[in-house]
Amino acid sequence: MKALYDLTPFTLLDFPDIPAAIFWFAGCNLRCSYCYNPDIVLGTAHIDEETALAFLTKRIGLLEGVVLSGGEATLYPNLLPFCRSIKALGYKLKLDTNAMRPDVIQILLNESLLDYVALDYKAPASEMSRICGGGNEHRFWESFHMLQMHAVNFEVRTTFHRDLLNESQIISMSNTLVQEGYTRPFYVQLFRDSVQTLGNLPSSKHIVNYRLLEHYVTLRT
């Protein structure tokens, strides 16, 4: 079955402390205007599972992990057996997800297939439709609380474009996470100008108050 839009053979940045490959799954159930991967979101898969697993077989001893990214990996209908096959080769798995498929995340957690999860906190509930073209914040919190109950490392992150959200809204998101029992860093990636996005966003003309944000979040460039 065709699974991937593309794969990145090596990264030291995307899986904490682990040399890994990135598997990019085509398609997504959101349309976030700041998304850096419009080709992947709107594209189709053309790399099959057999090719991906053959690649991993050759990298045993050189890589330790696989990042399931996209797009949105939880949309792939054969994800569960695919993850089983990857784990059988001895790799650790990290899932990058928009959290809109808590049912899939639950299945993966129940089989102890995930070693790390990056959960996208896209926006406050009132802004989800405007920024992401849909989505349901309740599904995010369902996925979040599910991870809180399992012994799996995870992080929460968002992308900050000053024309879409302001500092007060980011701080409110951070405070909400704390109220829900989150004690890990809340990672905020500042929007990279001059990069094509799904919504063709222009460079922000607003100045970000870094000093204010640093009291509440962990900034990523």
Domain of 61, CATH number, reads: 3.20.20.70
What is the tens place of the pLDDT at every residue in 129-159?
999 999 889 999 999 999 999 989 999 999 9
SS3 (DSSP) at 155: strand
List helix spans (H) across 37-179.
38-42, 49-58, 79-88, 102-110, 128-132, 137-149, 167-179
Residue 120: give the domain boundaries: 2-220
What is the tens place of the pLDDT at every residue in 94-140?
999 999 999 999 999 999 999 999 999 999 989 999 999 998 899 99
Q: At which residue do the structure tokens 């709107």 appear?
A: 42
Residue 7 confidence (pLDDT): 97
Answer for the pair 20, 63: CB distance below 8 angstroms, yes or no: yes
How far, CA to CA in Å, does 78 sit from each of 45, 71, 74? Answer: 13, 15, 9
List helix spans (H) across the chain.
38-42, 49-58, 79-88, 102-110, 128-132, 137-149, 167-179, 210-213
What is the tens place of the pLDDT at every residue in 168-217?
999 999 999 999 999 999 999 988 776 788 888 877 777 889 899 999 99
Does pTM surpass 0.85? yes
Total domains in the fold of the chain: 1
